[in-house]
Amino acid sequence: MSYNVREHSYVVGGLGVTGQACVRFLLQHQASVKAFDTREQLTLPDDIALSLAGKVTTKPLTKHYFDGVDTLVLSPGLSLDIEQVTIAKRCGVEVIGDVELFARLNRELASPKNVVGITGSNGKTTVTLLTNHLLNACGVRCIEAGNVGRPVLETLQSDADVVVMELSSFQLETTSSLSLNTATILNISDDHLDRHGSLENYIDAKQRIFDNAASAVVWRDGEFVSPDADAEQAILQIVEYGLGESDTGFAVAKIKGVDTVVFNSVPLIKLDAIPLAGTHNVLNVMAALAICHELGVKPEDAIRHLNSFESAPHRCVEIANENGVRYIDDSKATNIGATVAALEGLAPMTQGRLILIAGGDAKGADMQTLVPYLERHVAHVFAIGKDATRIAEIFERTTLHDSMQDAVRAAMTLAENGDVVLLSPACASIDMFKNYMHRGEVFKEAVALVLANKSIAQKVTP
């Protein structure tokens, strides 16, 4: 069945970055559009404000608001449980997201774009950007989109042949017909339980990525990351990867005594030659190579371009190295699983101790699951934010601080040659910062300031 935007009347729910992109796209295609937002104070770009003059409401919706409306395009930041969605459904209005709208319109293109879907609790952005980099470097016209930042509807008018989508559980909730050349769930850990209500619901949302996928890339040792029985029947091929030994797929093997990533037993790269820090990033590299393989690019060709990849900021990035102490910004670790990945990945490569700065809004997660990893790897935690006391309750070697600056200062006092001071919060940032990027920048500034003050103090000391 064909899908013509002009024949539909739309409401866009939520006017953040995604919602604004939806409005622009729909108006460009001469659709009927109005919008609501749940924020009372709303500042819009001039073009959106002008285009939707008199058509934006921030007040409670009346029962007649959806009269004559076919489709509600809901931004991923808004829950399906809000009153506005309930009213829409009661009025017979279909509720979709921008990814589902992309899926329907992509099918109408003379040459539909090949699409890759990447989800998981952690590592999504790294794998999305790395896959995009490797494919482009190998001559495949490719563009990244979705949760990584670029609204998916913008890709329909690009000259890319492949769209690599980072997909959150929120986006997948409102997606039903997205056809994917290959799909992957990188990993699953407690996250967004305040939104989904339970781990089971969160997993169900993630599993939707396999519903219309031709192939799947699966972490061999992961839980809940394989397609369920119904989805697996329709999937043509599964490529596995993992850190253990295996004759098939991507694995790690000893070759002349050196740990090496292999594909179907063919050597690709030595582990110590991978420029991204931590064993969790070895898995990320394998996942990206597996996706490239499913799009017709040989892993041995793709791996040649790994060294030219620039890692995204705030994802296990070293920001300073002073007196043998490394300072690593992993502010993107907004859930427990991400922090666990950082600890497990960095510990084998750390000569001294791991000193952790953590805390923020835990989003309803069970902090107790962090305990074994803190006990195994962490010398001390300097905790900040809304749920800092929850960390202190589960880990004795924790001190509480009112600011990032105080936590950094205390961590630096403890740190010695060979140690790592790691910001990996295991929590969201919105209780103290604008977002995780802002949190990472504040950490970087605090490190630079304390190091500078130390240097000055050393110079003036007789």
Q: What is the pLDDT of residues 200-239, one digit of tens each?
A: 888 999 999 999 999 999 999 999 999 988 877 788 899 9
**Distance, C-alpha 197 to centroid of its chain:** 20
- DSSP state for residue 344 in the 8-state scheme: H
For Cα atoms 420, 421, 422, give the angle at the middle one, nearest 5 degrees: 105
* Distance of alpha carbon 299 from alpha carbon 308, whole angstroms: 16
pLDDT at 194: 63
Catalytic residue among 124, 133, 196, 444: 124
**Residue 136 pLDDT grade (very low, low, confident, very high; cuts 50, 70, 90):** very high
Known catalytic membership, residue 284: no
Percent of the chain with pLDDT over 90: 80
Catalytic residue among 113, 192, 293, 332: 192
Q: Are 101-308 and 317-460 equal in CATH topology? A: no
Q: Rounded to two decimals, what is the model's pTM? A: 0.81
Where are the domains positioned within the chain? Answer: 5-96, 101-308, 317-460
Domain 317-460 in CATH 3.90.190.20? The answer is yes
pLDDT at 451: 92
Class level of CATH domain 101-308: alpha beta
What 3-state DSSP class applies to 422? strand
Catalytic residue among 106, 114, 147, 187: 147
Fold of 5-96: Rossmann fold (3.40.50)
The DSSP line for 49-97 is HHHTTT-EE-SPPPTTTTTT--EEEE-TTS-TTSHHHHHHHHTT-EEE-
**Residue 101 pLDDT grade (very low, low, confident, very high; cuts 50, 70, 90):** very high
Per the CB < 8 A criterion, the answer to whether 19 and 36 are in contact is no
The DSSP line for 435-462 is SHHHHHHHHHHHHHHHHHHHHHHHHH--
pLDDT at 329: 94
399 has a pLDDT exceeding 70: yes
| Averaged pLDDT, 73-91 | 94
pLDDT at 327: 95
Known catalytic membership, residue 124: yes
> What beta strand segments (E) does 180-273 contain?
182-185, 215-219, 237-241, 250-255, 258-263, 266-270
Ramachandran angles phi, psi of 243, nearest 5°: -85, -10
**Helix, strand, coil share of the chain (percent; to 5):** 40, 20, 40
| Averaged pLDDT, 176-181 | 96
Burial 326-359 (b: 16+ CB within 10 A, else e): bbbbbbbbbbbbbbbbbbebbbeebeebbbbbbb
pLDDT digit string, tens, across residues 32-77: 999 999 998 889 999 999 999 999 999 999 989 999 999 999 999 8
pLDDT at 192: 59
- DSSP state for residue 38 in the 8-state scheme: S
